[in-house]
Structure formats: structure tokens, C-alpha cells
Amino acid sequence: MSRRTTLTQYLIEQQREHNNIPGDLRLLIEVVARACKAIAHHVSKGALGDVLGTAGSENIQGEVQKKLDVLSNEILLEANEWGGNLAAMASEELEEIHPIPNRYPKGEYLLLFDPLDGSSNIDVNVSIGTIFSVLRCPDGEHPTEQSFLQEGTKQVAAGYAVYGPQTVLVLTTGNGVQSFTLDRELGSWVLTTRNMTIPADTHEYAINASNARHWYPPVTRYVGELLAGKDGPRGADFNMRWTASMVADVNRILVRGGIFMYPADKRDPSRPGRLRLLYEANPMSFIVEQAGGAATTGTTRILDVKPQHLHERVAVFLGSKNEVERVTGYHAP
């Protein structure tokens, strides 16, 4: 049997080779990965674990919380409080930041996460996941909300877990993108794909077509060309794949290419988009760029956006580079 590389072995090897994963960061990533294993266990139990259905509450976004939303958030908070690697955390499910309790030692990193992306798919047994991002806490600061408002280029690590037929952890620390599969018998994350690369060209796209009547002209033009297929200006057929779970759609793009789009639309002209910059757009954009893809708001590179508040939203176009550049060009004045 060929030697298997575990997540811990990979992180140690990366530190030796690139000197970019100090001990505290390695331990933080391992703790997040263990929390994802716990979430995967509860997801797999479904109705048997009494985790389906709503929790009877709303999050800061005004969205009805599922039981698994609340449980996943609690698992990530509790797992990461005591290790001494973090100064504070921020969750899509919480209005304010979550400081590390005074009874625990503090570290130099900040952790941001969407505990359970794709909640609408929980009860119908379609892939869902967890997204996370790691920043350094600015020197000399007691963490405040302002500490988290850093451009995506400042991320030191980002990743996501997909809870599907296989449980997969995708990770970048700034030197490419690696995919680990959970070996349930051994309880280990095993490196199964090295240096994932997104093809520059694609014939697949992901967008919620039910919102077509609300799109702005650049998106209407771009998707219209894709729908026209061989008879249209692109001279090629395109397939649409939409899962309503960002982790599932982005994972497909990492494996075989594609473009994921969640544009702003006319329903609320004051809102620049729907997806959260800090919890979804930034970590996914970091991963996509590390895999050779591109990620923009339609007008700006996502990783260059300076956040203004903790739950800021943006439009998202990410995936195969040539398609992202094309639809971004359509947004140019």
C-alpha cells in the first residue's frame, strides 16, 4: 500500500518547505478540521439524530435557522475557544464577534466561518458544507470588529468542508489548493488531490436562473449568450449546474471547471450582492485564485475589497479565469 499523507503530515511538510505554517496556525487548522469531522457526523445522522428542521430562531441576517445551523455554530465555537491559538472568532450566525473567554489563553489569529453553508439543502439530503477563513489579529490590538475588517489578500489560510457522499476538506495556506478526504474508519483526513487546478475555459456555469427577471443587463447578456449555445455568439453549448450550496458548486468547479455567479440584482438596488464577503466570498476567492481561477464582484477583484462591516455582502463571479474575465468585462462602463 502506498504511503498516505494525513492533514497533520501535510501541514508539517509545508512548514518545512515554505516556512508559512507556524505551530499555532497548524494547531488551529487541525482544530477546525476536527470540528468539521464532528459536524459531518451529525449531518450523517439526519433524522436519526433529531437534527433536521428549523430551530425556531433567526440569525443576524434575518434568516430562519436550521437545527444544524445552530449545532454547527456551537461545535466550531466550543472547539476553538480553549486552544490558545485565537484572539477572537466571527460567525455568519452571530451579530457580533466572539472574543475568547478570559479563562483561556489568547493567540494571534482570527477565525471567521460560515458554520453550515447551503442550509436549504439540509432536509433534502443534498451536499452542504462549512467555510472558514483565518486572519492575523493586528499587533497590539484587543480584538474588535475592526480587527476583522481586512482585505481578503490578508488571509493566511482558508478552506471548506463538503458533507456529501464523501466528506472532503479543501484547504489553502497560500501555496496551492489541496483536497483531503475523511477516512471514516481511521478518523483521519487523507490527502487525496494535490495542487488542484481550475481549467481556464469551461462549458459549465452555476447561477440561480429563477432570478433572471431581476438581473442587471451585463448578467442578462452573458447568460443569454450561454443559453444560445451553438447558434449564439459563443458558438458552443453550455450546461447549467446549480446546487444552492456554494461549497458544492465551488467544489465542482475546482474538480472540473466552471463559473459560479451570485450577482447583485434589482430587487434591492441598495444591496451590492447577497453573499457575505468575510464568511463566503473572501475564503472561496482565496481558494479559487490559488487554483488558477479568478474571482470578482463584476467590477473589482474580491480579495481587494476593503470590508466596511462584519456582515457586508458582495456580488460574486468566480471560477474558470476566461469566463470570469468575460462577464467582468461586460460590467465595464
In angstroms, the first-to-last Cα distance of the chain is: 57
pLDDT at 61 (0 to 100): 63
Decide: 288 and 246 in contact? Cβ < 8 Å: no
Residue pointed to by grid coordinates 450577482:
263
Q: Which of 93, 171, 180 is CA-nearest to residue 134?
A: 171
Decide: 309 and 145 in contact? Cβ < 8 Å: yes
Set of cell numbers at residue 201: 475555459
Alpha helices in the chain (DSSP H): 7-18, 23-45, 67-81, 145-148, 217-228, 246-256, 282-290, 321-330
Q: What is the mean pLDDT of the chain?
A: 94
Local confidence band at 63 (pLDDT 50, 70, 90 cut-offs): low
pLDDT at 97 (0 to 100): 97
* Annotated binding-site ranges: 92, 114, 116-120, 208, 280
Set of cell numbers at residue 60: 443576524
- Specify the DSSP element, H or E, that contains 259: strand 259-262
Set of cell numbers at residue 41: 457526523
Q: Classify residue 100 as exposed, middle or buried by CB count within 10 Å of its CB (0-12, 13-18, 19+).
A: buried
d(CA 185, CA 141): 43
Q: Which of 178, 155, 161 is CA-nearest to residue 11?
A: 178
> Average pLDDT for residues 19-36, to the nearest whole number?
96
Set of cell numbers at residue 332: 465595464
- Specify the DSSP element, H or E, that contains 261: strand 259-262
Is 7-193 in CATH node 3.30.540.10?
A: yes
d(CA 213, CA 224): 12
Residue 328 has pLDDT above 90, yes or no: yes
Per-residue pLDDT of 207-259, as tens digits, reads: 999 999 999 999 999 999 999 999 999 999 999 999 999 999 999 999 999 99
Residue 306 has pLDDT above 70, yes or no: yes
* Annotated binding-site ranges for substrate: 117-120, 208
DSSP notation for 176-206: -EEEEEEETTTTEEEEEE-S----S--SEEE
Domain ranges in the chain? 7-193, 204-330
Percent of the chain's residues with pLDDT above 70: 96
Q: Which of 35-39, 42-46, 92-96 has the lowest mean pLDDT?
A: 42-46
For residue 301, what is the DSSP state? B
d(CA 286, CA 174): 8
Is 204-330 in CATH node 1.10.10.10?
A: no
Per-residue pLDDT of 95-149, as tens digits, reads: 999 999 999 999 999 999 999 999 888 888 899 999 999 999 997 678 999 999 9
* Annotated binding-site ranges for Mg(2+): 92, 114, 116-117, 280
Residue 1 has pLDDT above 50, yes or no: no
Per-residue pLDDT of 260-294, as tens digits, reads: 999 999 999 888 999 999 999 999 999 999 999 99
CATH topology identical between 7-193 and 204-330: no
Q: Is the dihedral of CA 242, 245, 250, 253 positive or negative?
A: negative
Local confidence band at 55 (pLDDT 50, 70, 90 cut-offs): low
Local confidence band at 59 (pLDDT 50, 70, 90 cut-offs): low
Q: Which of 4-8, 33-37, 48-52, 301-305 has the lowest mean pLDDT?
A: 48-52
Set of cell numbers at residue 213: 427577471
pTM of the predicted model as reported, rounded to 2 decimal places: 0.95
